[in-house]
């Protein structure tokens, strides 16, 4: 009677309980065996009733009341007449060649994703760090494979650094595809160029890419060209924040250029708050700060022009409506071309190149915020793990934790 209950408790329905022994202080040992009349050959599925041999295996299970549980299972070997070879009987719940039950490995996976450090997982389950590692990624892969979520309506694409190349020292990048509607990382791809994306099979296996309506990227040409062909019905949107950042950089570079001149050594002083003032929104400046800026602009007319362009770009995003934005955009680019200054022209070229994507923002009004937020999460996961070596593991962990 007790045997039957124990069997149900173990979750191995095929096995029959024989006896229990606990000579050791810290281990429970349970003796079990399978009691079927016939078995099927795993290679050719022929019935076999002739028992050829027996052997005992020791399988580890989930610890019980702080004691290690060992299942000693007597496995029979049968002889297959058509293959003319013996085979060992398979047991449900224990994978072939494994020394632990699937249930135990799943339990370790649960512990590893819920405990705050992996050392405690080892102590709790009385197993090695290797066991934790293999069990975790084995089950993470199964869980990720189960997620058959299609693409959402809005998708964000961005890259972040992953590891420093051991041989050549350069940084290696990964690109993440974020589903905005469900706020989850849908796929992680190695590299940041179009050819890298095209090579990735996982990306092509996700269903529903023709339903994507908005794709948000930063100013990377490779992502634009890939997104155009991969999401055929989507509108591409260049991120608002990145354009403002480009404008800010441009102003800052001009300031540094002016500082290089020995005549302007006052600007070089560390206490000079000019840098911050130049990058601030002009509406947020105090009266005294505005006066200081005016004074500087009197001395450096070029800096003033750069500042004006920056302010125009920032104000562009306060406009409502596509048509008005289009007009303002034309005004900005015309103003830039009329200035004929060196640093401005490259920004103008970028803006003209991305004109449609920038203006699409005014139709849909979505930003890259969620992608950048996911990047933050990804960096946190990297740091928590003290860095990753293998990209497949990193991918599994990111998708599983941000699902
Ligand atoms: Zn066979």
Structure tokens at 298: 């009197």
Q: Please tell me the distance between residue 80's alpha carbon and the centre of ligand 1 in angstroms.
A: 5
- Residue 74 falls inside a structural domain: yes
Q: Do residue 244 and residue 234 come from a single domain?
A: no
Mean pLDDT for the stretch of residues 91-95: 87
Q: Please tell me the distance between residue 94's alpha carbon and the centre of ligand 1 in angstroms.
A: 21
**Angle at CA 30, nearest 5°, toward 25 and 32?**
165
Question: How many structural domains is the chain composed of?
Answer: 3
Q: Please tell me the distance between residue 42's alpha carbon and the centre of ligand 1 in angstroms.
A: 7
Q: Please tell me the distance between residue 335's alpha carbon and the centre of ligand 1 in angstroms.
A: 82
Q: Please tell me the distance between residue 38's alpha carbon and the centre of ligand 1 in angstroms.
A: 13
Q: Please tell me the distance between residue 81's alpha carbon and the centre of ligand 1 in angstroms.
A: 7
Cβ atoms within 10 Å, residue 261? 11
Identify which of 331, 356, 336 has the alpha carbon closest to the alpha carbon of residue 346. Answer: 336
Q: Please tell me the distance between residue 84's alpha carbon and the centre of ligand 1 in angstroms.
A: 7
Q: Do residue 64 and residue 14 come from a single domain?
A: yes
Does the structure show a pLDDT above 60 at 263?
yes
CA distance 89 to 224: 55
Q: Please tell me the distance between residue 14's alpha carbon and the centre of ligand 1 in angstroms.
A: 22
User: Using one digit for the tens of pLDDT, what is the confidence trace for 191-219?
Assistant: 888 888 888 888 888 888 888 999 999 88
Q: Do residue 275 and residue 318 come from a single domain?
A: yes
Q: Are 240 and 359 in contact (CB under 8 A)?
A: no
Bridge partners for 20 per DSSP: 30
Tell me the angle at which helices 118-125 and 129-146 cross, rounded to the nearest 10 degrees. 110
The pLDDT value recorded for residue 380 is: 93
Q: Please tell me the distance between residue 83's alpha carbon and the centre of ligand 1 in angstroms.
A: 4
Query: Which contacts (CB < 8 Å, 24+ apart) does range 206-210 have?
Result: 206/149, 206/150, 206/151, 207/148, 207/150, 207/151, 208/150, 208/151, 209/151
Q: Do residue 228 and residue 372 come from a single domain?
A: yes
Q: Are 336 and 347 in contact (CB under 8 A)?
A: yes
Q: Please tell me the distance between residue 17's alpha carbon and the centre of ligand 1 in angstroms.
A: 29
Cβ atoms within 10 Å, residue 180? 19
Question: Helix (H, G, I), strand (E, B), or coil: what is residue 270?
Answer: coil
Alpha helix segments (H runs only) across 261-341: 265-268, 274-279, 287-299, 301-316, 322-339
Q: Do residue 235 and residue 245 come from a single domain?
A: no
Q: Please tell me the distance between residue 49's alpha carbon and the centre of ligand 1 in angstroms.
A: 12
The pLDDT value recorded for residue 342 is: 81
If you write DSSP's letter for every residue of 226-259 in order, what string do you get? HHHHHSTTPEEEE-HHHHHHHHHHHHHHHHHHHH
CA distance 320 to 309: 19
User: Using one digit for the tens of pLDDT, what is the confidence trace for 167-193?
Assistant: 898 999 999 999 988 889 999 999 888
Whole-model pTM: value is: 0.82
Q: Do residue 234 and residue 372 come from a single domain?
A: yes
Q: Please tell me the distance between residue 93's alpha carbon and the centre of ligand 1 in angstroms.
A: 22
Q: Which residues contact 188 (CB under 8 A, 6 or more apart)?
A: 174, 175, 176, 177, 394, 395, 398, 399
User: Using one digit for the tens of pLDDT, what is the confidence trace for 270-279?
Assistant: 677 888 888 8
Determine how β-strand 85-88 pairs with β-strand 154-164: unpaired
- Residue 145 falls inside a structural domain: no
The whole domain housing 235 covers: 154-239+368-401
- Residue 118 falls inside a structural domain: no
Backbone angles phi, psi at 71, to 5 degrees: -100, 115
Ligand 1 (single-atom ion) residues, CB below 5 Å? 41, 43-44, 46, 80, 83
- Residue 142 falls inside a structural domain: no
CA distance 102 to 74: 18
Q: Please tell me the distance between residue 138's alpha carbon and the centre of ligand 1 in angstroms.
A: 29
- Residue 141 falls inside a structural domain: no
């Amino acid at each position: 009677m007790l045997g039957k209950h124990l069997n149900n408790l173990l979750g191995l329905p095929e096995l029959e309980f024989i006896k229990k022994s606990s000579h050791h202080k810290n281990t429970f040992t349970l003796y079990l065996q399978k009691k079927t009349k016939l078995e099927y050959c795993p290679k050719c599925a022929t019935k076999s009733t002739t028992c050829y041999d027996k052997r005992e295996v020791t399988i580890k299970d989930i610890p019980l009341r702080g004691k290690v549980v060992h299942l000693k299972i007597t496995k029979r070997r049968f002889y297959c007449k058509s293959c003319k070879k013996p085979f060992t009987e398979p047991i449900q719940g224990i994978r072939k060649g494994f020394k632990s039950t699937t249930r135990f490995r799943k339990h370790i996976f649960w512990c590893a994703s819920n405990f705050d450090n992996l050392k405690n997982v080892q102590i709790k389950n009385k197993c090695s760090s290797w066991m934790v590692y293999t069990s975790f990624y084995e089950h993470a892969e199964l869980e990720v494979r189960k997620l058959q979520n299609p693409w959402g309506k809005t998708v964000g694409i961005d890259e972040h650094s992953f590891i420093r190349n051991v041989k050549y020292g350069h940084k290696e990048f990964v690109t993440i595809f974020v589903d905005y509607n469900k706020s989850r990382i849908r796929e992680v791809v190695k590299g940041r160029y179009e050819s890298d994306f095209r090579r990735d099979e996982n990306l092509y296996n996700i269903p529903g890419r023709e339903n994507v309506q908005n794709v948000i990227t930063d100013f990377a040409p490779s992502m634009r060209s890939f997104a155009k062909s991969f999401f055929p019905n989507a509108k591409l949107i260049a991120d608002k924040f990145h354009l403002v950042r480009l404008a800010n950089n441009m102003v800052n570079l001009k300031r540094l250029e002016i500082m290089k001149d020995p005549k302007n050594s006052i600007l070089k002083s560390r206490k000079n708050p000019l840098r911050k003032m130049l990058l601030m929104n002009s509406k947020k400046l105090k009266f005294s700060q505005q006066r200081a800026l005016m004074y500087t602009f009197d001395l450096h007319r070029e800096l003033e022009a750069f500042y004006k362009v920056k302010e125009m770009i920032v104000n562009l995003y306060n406009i409502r409506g596509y048509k008005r934005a289009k007009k303002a955009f034309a005004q900005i680019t015309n103003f830039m071309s009329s200035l004929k200054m060196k640093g401005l022209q490259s920004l103008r070229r970028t803006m003209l190149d991305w004109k449609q994507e920038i203006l699409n923002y005014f139709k849909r009004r979505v930003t890259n915020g969620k992608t950048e937020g996911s990047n933050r999460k990804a960096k946190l996961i990297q740091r928590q793990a003290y860095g990753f070596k293998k990209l497949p593991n990193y991918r599994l962990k990111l998708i599983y934790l941000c699902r």
